[in-house]
Amino acid sequence: MNNHLKTLRAERGWSQQHLAERLDVSRQSVNAVETGRYDPSLPLAFRIAELFDLPIEAVFVSPSRG
């Protein structure tokens, strides 16, 4: 699933490790989501969106919309 996670994280000056700690996941998980190698669970996707104070659609791109 495409997403804007790397851009959002960079805009805030957060490292992958910092974001991982805030989400209670590993840095490797953050990297895998950012690069599209791993689709987060729905609860994790919502936690990510809430952390950035954005609707989930602003973080994750629907596969049908590319």
Q: Which whole number is the average pLDDT over 44-57? A: 97
**pTM across the whole model:** 0.90
Evaluate if residue 43 carries a pLDDT over 90. yes
The CATH code belonging to domain 5-61 is 1.10.260.40
d(CA 47, CA 22): 10
Evaluate if residue 42 carries a pLDDT over 70. yes
d(CA 17, CA 26): 8
Q: Name the nearest CA neighbour of 15 among 4, 31, 3.
A: 31
Tell me the pLDDT of the chain averaged across its residues: 95
Write down the pLDDT at residue 37. Answer: 95
Please state, for a pLDDT cut of 90, what percent of the chain lies above it.
Answer: 91
Write down the pLDDT at residue 24. Answer: 98
What are the angstrom distances between the C-alpha of 43 and each of 10, 11, 12, 38, 61? Answer: 23, 23, 22, 14, 16
Annotated domain spans of the chain: 5-61
